[in-house]
Amino acid sequence: MERITIRGERFEANGKPVWFCGANTPWHNWNDFGGEYDEAWWRGHLAQIREAGVNATRVWLNCNNGQGAVDIDEGGVVRGVAQAHWRDLRSLFAAAESAGVYIMGTLLSFDHFKDIGSRPEAARWRAMLGSERGVESFAEHYVRPFAEYFGGNPVLWSVDLMNEPDWVHEEDFCGKMPWEALSRLFARCAAALHKAAPATLVTVGMSFPKYHSELYEGDMVSDEYLQSLYKDDGAFLDFLSPHYYDWIGERYGSPFTLSPFGPREEGGWGLRGGRPALIGECPALGTAGSTLTDDYLNAMRHGWQGVMPWTSNGVDKCGGFERLSAATRRVAAEYPELVFPR
């Protein structure tokens, strides 16, 4: 598989434009990698979605409690990573390469920090986020070896540092952590990835534009803000991957009817330009008044560089393979040179 690169506000593979007719396959058995990993299922499902026209999917590599993966102590210091985690990830990437499906690997989610009463392990993740020592240990003992092991494989085209960090800041059940702590983590991890695996692209799966735009509450993942918290030239995101569900459109509008960049009165969704932007999550059932096929095609027309619906394997009520595949087959058939450039 060709390495995915960036030219301006688009993605390329071997110098040719590529558009992500994507999906989310977040988990099969929740803590899959280092836990209940089912190699046969992953190999079969990745082949299934590739045959249906999907060229990339987003996978949660480490789910909320990290059992079987990250060894984190009560003070939030990461001490190491289970060898079973690395072993299972090697198998996942081999299966993806065999199928011809690129992987966006998500390293953390707001779920890690959720419900401290019923999930005491959340206290460890909150302690990590709230401590410079904890953040450094996560970057050095998890992110850096991950990048060294897998960053040379082009099938790992990108890393999503955290799924929907907005809720870690906003919600009591996630600790209401300050943006300074979250963004410091992103800065350290992005710098570690860019140093150890410079060809692997980095993003953060923000929930909505509220904290992702200077037009609203500020851009908490801008180069300027990240580098103000950790002074390293590698502390930046290569591309943007916000999420969208219909409740978001009530205030911010639908990205399927707007370009990613610029203010809404000028036809934009409020993001800062200069790098590619794709829709990292949206319902596989389609959005209000629109089919999923229309969502893919409208996003393409408005300059988004891909769409990754939730999910390819029906983990909840947002839709599954039947809805997803009907749309992806159509998009891949109409734009084969963009979805699978030769």
pLDDT given at position 148: 98
Would you call the peptide bond into 106 cis, given omega within 30 degrees of 0 as the criterion? no
Question: Can you give the pLDDT at residue 112?
Answer: 94
**With contact defined as beta carbons under 8 Å apart, do 191 and 235 qualify?**
yes
What pTM was estimated for this model as a whole? 0.97
- pLDDT, one tens digit for every residue, the chain (342 residues): 999 999 999 999 999 999 999 999 999 999 899 999 999 999 999 999 999 999 999 999 998 665 668 999 999 999 999 999 999 999 999 999 999 999 999 999 999 999 878 788 899 999 999 999 999 999 999 999 999 999 999 999 999 999 999 999 999 999 999 999 999 999 999 999 999 999 999 999 999 999 999 999 999 999 999 999 999 999 999 999 999 999 999 999 999 999 999 999 999 999 999 999 999 999 999 999 999 999 999 999 999 999 999 999 999 999 999 999 999 999 999 999 999 998
Q: Other C-beta atoms within 10 Å of 322: how many?
A: 9
| pLDDT at residue 116, rounded to an integer | 79
pLDDT of residue 339: 98
155 backbone dihedrals φ, ψ, rounded to 5°? -65, -30
CA-based nearest residue to 280, from 305, 251, 313, 300: 305
CA 342 to chain centre: 25
Q: Are 270 and 216 in contact (CB under 8 A)?
A: yes
The pLDDT value recorded for residue 197 is 98
Cβ partners under 8 Å of residue 313, min gap 6 = 25, 28, 45, 320, 321
pLDDT of 119 reads 82
Task: Indicate the domain borders of the chain.
Answer: 4-13+26-49+58-270
Q: What pLDDT score does 118 carry? A: 79
Fold classification of 4-13+26-49+58-270 is: TIM Barrel (3.20.20)
